[in-house]
Amino acid sequence: MPARPGAVRDMKTGAVTDEFDAAAPSYDRLVAANPGYHRHLRMSARRLRLPRGGEGLRVLDLGCGTGASTAALARELPRAEIIGVDASAGMLAAARAKRWPDRVRFVHARAEDLTLAHLGGPVDAVLAAYLLRNCPDPDRALAVMRSLLRPGGRVALHEYSVADSAAARAVWTAVCWSVVIPAGRALTGRADLYRYLWRSVLEFDGAAALRERMRAAGLDLVRTLPLTGWQRGITHTFLGRVPEAPGPAGEHA
């Protein structure tokens, strides 16, 4: 299970986007073989707890990839405007090639570079699935999310985190080397992205550390909810909120 020191850091500085570009044509087939993958994304979308099916709300799908998380949001929030954003042109092309309602659109941008101008104004919620771990500067990415959200806006990070559990690390490694890496190699003819996936999860924040990172970015009501099946203890929904704007003088917000 080779992984030279610094390999994950090096991938995040640019090579990982190239690998996602290369994997885009076969990515949907690979994730479809993961039991619960789409159902878990829908669970995290529901956990945003947006009212009225998202009517009148704008929701950002940050790191949308080929659109699996976008589809989860579109299903769970049938009245929301949804904006999918990804840094990989290949993944975004695969997403755009699918059929979407008019309320769904896509933007090509890095999470750390995203601005209100890209989106046409602030958003009411962010879903970031499998994104933060891939960002060279996760604190910057969280700061950008907060800057794009209205007061009271909600965040759901759908993310791997195994650092707090030896059992979770063992299961993750076993699944990667027996299933994910061989399947990725068979579908794409290369395995760099999937070896990176394995190692990047092992090196990423534990759940407690990620919650602290979210609080340091200015989010409150931060908590973790589990997912089911073999990914219990491995993949989680991390929830947070931008604090409500203070009321006028003399009022309690």
Among 26-30, 68-72, 97-101, 201-205, the minimum mean pLDDT is found in 26-30
Nearest to 110 by CA among 133, 130, 129, 136: 136
Q: In a 3-state reduction of DSSP, which class is residue 89? A: helix
What is residue 118's predicted lDDT score, i.e. its pLDDT? Answer: 95
Q: Using the predicted structure, report yes or no on whether residue 238 has a pLDDT greater than 50.
A: yes
Taking only the tens place, the pLDDT of each residue in 149-182 is 999 999 999 999 999 999 999 999 999 999 999 9
Q: What is the CA radius of gyration of the chain?
A: 18
Q: What are the C-alpha distances in Å from 139 to residues 101, 156, 196?
A: 33, 15, 21
Instruction: Give me the domains of the chain, ranges plus CATH numbers.
Output: 34-162+205-241 (3.40.50.150)
Q: Using the predicted structure, report yes or no on whether residue 250 has a pLDDT greater than 60.
A: no
What is residue 74's predicted lDDT score, i.e. its pLDDT? Answer: 98
What is residue 172's predicted lDDT score, i.e. its pLDDT? Answer: 97
Mean pLDDT throughout 179-202?
92
Helices assigned H by DSSP within the chain:
7-10, 16-32, 37-46, 68-76, 89-96, 116-119, 138-148, 166-175, 181-188, 192-203, 207-216
